[in-house]
Amino acid sequence: MLELPHTIVGAAIAAKIGNPALSLPLALASHFALDLLPHWNPHLNTELNKFGRLSNKTLTFIATDVFLSLAGGLLIASTVLPDQTKFMYVITGAFMGVLPDVLEAPHFLTSLRIWPIEKLLKFQKSIQNDAPPFLGILTQVLLLAAVFAWVF
Ligand SMILES: [Zn+2]
């Protein structure tokens, strides 16, 4: 799944559930739950195995996704202001929502192969529910709409 829905769901969980001892682990768990939904994202493994590196087009796509994720996370966090403590929890929730993918960044961006990260990668690959682009984007747009309706 793209990082934007992962971020938004993690942030929304932290914004809606007051207790961070509950919301932050839930935000992390949401990452794996969301990857079970049919979705489309660039196939980084396939590209890496085929060309040895990610294309500039894919890197630009990822950078855009990350930028939108930061903006979306901040937008949801802004709904709990002026409570600055809760604001920090929502930002942390957003981060927990993407943490498994963030941990994989060295695999895709460097030649480092770190055993626990390779394990995580294998696990995440095993739970992905890949869908063709149209359906796979539609599910993520509907998910975003549902979460925004919940938060705002
Ligand atoms: Zn993932």
Q: Hey, where are the domains in the chain? A: 3-151
Please give the distance, rounded to the nearest whole angstrom, from the Cα atom of residue 100 to the centre of ligand 1: 6
Q: Please state, in angstroms and rounded to a whole number, the distance separating the CA atoms of residues 22 and 29.
A: 11
Please give the distance, rounded to the nearest whole angstrom, from the Cα atom of residue 121 to the centre of ligand 1: 8
3-state helix, strand, coil in the chain (%, to 5): 80, 0, 20
Please give the distance, rounded to the nearest whole angstrom, from the Cα atom of residue 151 to the centre of ligand 1: 23
φ/ψ of residue 131, rounded to 5: -125, 160
pLDDT tens track for 101-114: 999 999 999 999 99
Please give the distance, rounded to the nearest whole angstrom, from the Cα atom of residue 65 to the centre of ligand 1: 14
pLDDT tens track for 65-122: 999 999 999 999 999 999 999 999 999 999 999 999 999 999 999 999 999 999 999 9
Q: Please state, in angstroms and rounded to a whole number, the distance separating the CA atoms of residues 46 and 55.
A: 12
Q: Please state, in angstroms and rounded to a whole number, the distance separating the CA atoms of residues 67 and 85.
A: 23
Q: Please state, in angstroms and rounded to a whole number, the distance separating the CA atoms of residues 67 and 62.
A: 9
Sequence-ordered list of residues with C-beta below 8 angstroms from that of 32, at least 6 positions apart, any chain: 100, 124, 127
Ligand 1 ion: residues within 5 Å (CB)? 35, 100-101, 124
